[in-house]
Amino acid sequence: MSVGLITSVVFIGGGVLWILVQSVKGRDVDRRWIFLFIGSTVALALLFHIRFGEKATPIVKAAFNQIENLPEGASVLIAFDYDPAMEPEVGPMADCFIRHTLARKHKLFLMTLWATGQALMTNTVEDVLKPEFPEAEYGTDYVNLGYKVGGFGVINVVLSDFRAMYPTDAHGTLLDSLPMFNKVRSLRDIDLIISIGGGTPGVKEWVLFAGNRGNIPIVGGTAAVVAPLLYPYYPRQLVGLLGGTKGAAEYESELTGNYDRFKDMDTPALRMMGPQTMAHVVVMAFIIIGNIAYFRSRKREGK
Partner 1 sequence: MATGNGNRKSPSNAVKIILVIVAVVFLISWISKATTGMADSTWLNIRDGFLITFAAFLTLSIFSFLYNDNPFYKFAEHLYVGVSAAYWMCLGFWSIIVGNFVPHASKTLSTFFKVPFQEYSWFYYVAFAFGVILLMRLLPKAGWIARWPLAVIIGTTAGFNLSRYLHSDFMSQVGNTFQPLFVDWQGAGHFFSNLSLAADGQLVMSAGNWIVVVGVLCGLVYFFFSKEHKGMFGAASRLGIWILMITFGASFGYTVMGRISLLVGRITFLFDDWLSIL
Partner 2 sequence: MRKLALICVVMVLAFLPPPLLGEVDSALLQDSVTVDLPEPPAPPGNVTATDNPNDNGRAIRVTWELSADDTTGMKNVIGYRINRAEARDAADSLWTEASDILPSGTTEFIHSGDGEEDGPDYFAKNYDFYYRVHALTADTFSVSAVVGPVQAKDNWYNTGVTFVLLFVALFIILTVTFVRIARKGKELYIRPLAGIEAVDEAIGRATEMGKPTLYILGLGSAADIATIASFAILSRVAKKVAEYQTPLLVPCYEPFVMTVAQDTVRAAYMDAGRPDDYDEDSVYFVTSSQFAYVAGVMGTMIREKPATNFYLGMFHAESLLLAETGAMIGSIQIAGTDQIAQLPFFVVACDYTLIGEELYAASVYLSREPVLLGTIKAQDWAKAVVVGTILAGLLARLLVDLDFIKTVFEVSV
Partner 3 sequence: MKRQLPLMLVFLLGAFMIIQYFVPAQASLDAYEFILDWMIIIGIFAMALGIWSLMRVSWHKIKRRSHDWQYAALTLAGLFIMVLFGFEPIGGGLKSYLWLQFYEFVMVPVLATIFSLLAFFMASAAYRAFRARSLLAAVLLGSAMVLMFRVLPLGPLSDPINELAGWILVVPNLAAKRAILIGVGLGMVATSLKVILGIERSYLGRD
- Using the rule CB under 8 A, is 184 a contact of partner 2? no
Cα three-residue angle 130-195-276, rounded to 5 degrees = 85
Describe the crossing of helices 58-69 and 87-103 by its angle, rounded to 10 degrees.
40
Omega before residue 235 within 30° of 0, cis: yes
- Using the rule CB under 8 A, is 207 a contact of partner 1? no
- Using the rule CB under 8 A, is 173 a contact of partner 2? no
| 89/191 with CB nearer partner 3 | 89
Identify whether the C-beta of residue 125 lies closer than 8 Å to the C-beta of residue 97. Answer: no
Q: % helix / strand / coil in the chain, to the nearest 5? A: 60, 10, 30
Residue 255 C-beta: closest distance to partner 1, Å: 22
**String of b and e for 85-95 (b: at least 16 CB within 10 Å)?**
ebbebbbbbbb
- Residues 156, 154: Cα–Cα separation, whole Å: 5
Binding mask 47-86 for partner 1 (x = CB under 8 A): x---------------------------------------
Binding mask 8-47 for partner 3 (x = CB under 8 A): -----------x---------x-x--xx-xxx--x-----
- Residues 109, 115: Cα–Cα separation, whole Å: 17
Q: Which amino acid is at 214?
A: G
Residue 28 C-beta: closest distance to partner 1, Å: 8
| 281 binds, options partner 2, partner 3, partner 1, none, Cβ within 5 to 8 A by partner type | partner 3
- Using the rule CB under 8 A, is 178 a contact of partner 2? no
Residues of this chain that bind partner 2 (CB under 8 A): 31, 148-151, 153, 156-157, 160-161, 163-165, 167
Contacting residues toward partner 1, per CB under 8 A: 30, 32, 35-36, 39, 42-43, 46-47, 224, 231-234, 236-237, 244-245, 272, 275-276, 279-280, 283
